[in-house]
Amino acid sequence: MSRSMKMWIAGLILSLGLGGCSVSTWYNPAPGEVTPGKSVDLTDKSPSFREGYEEGCSTAQGEYKKSSERFNSDTEYHDGWFAGRAACQGT
């Protein structure tokens, strides 16, 4: 087997391995919780979730807003951002 073929296979294995790890922290709403075009009940959500929701919604409507630092370190903000983007998509 040639060196370039070994490098290609090693790269493929590495990318598949790393790709599987990154998906585990994405927001996964409960069925019916987020429907495009419908808002989410925020009354029982944390202030951090609400702020992420508002910025995710703004992003879906064409005005990109996201605090990258909070998105990467605050799970509530992260989940709220994805919920807001999903709920406001297409509105």
**Model pLDDT for residues 53-75, shown as the tens digit of each residue:** 999 999 998 999 999 999 999 99
Q: For position 40, what pLDDT does the model report?
A: 73
Helices (H), the chain: 3-22, 47-60, 68-73, 75-88
Q: Which residue has the higher pLDDT, 87 or 18?
A: 87
| Mean pLDDT calculated for residue range 36-47 | 78
Residue 10: pLDDT band with limits 50, 70, 90: confident
Among the listed residues 46, 45, 23, the one whose alpha carbon sits nearest the alpha carbon of residue 33: 45
Q: Return d(Cα 49, Cα 51) in angstroms, integer.
A: 5
Q: Indicate the DSSP class of residue 3.
A: H
At residue 76, φ and ψ (nearest 5 deg) are -65, -45
**With 70 as the cut, is the pLDDT of residue 27 above it?**
no
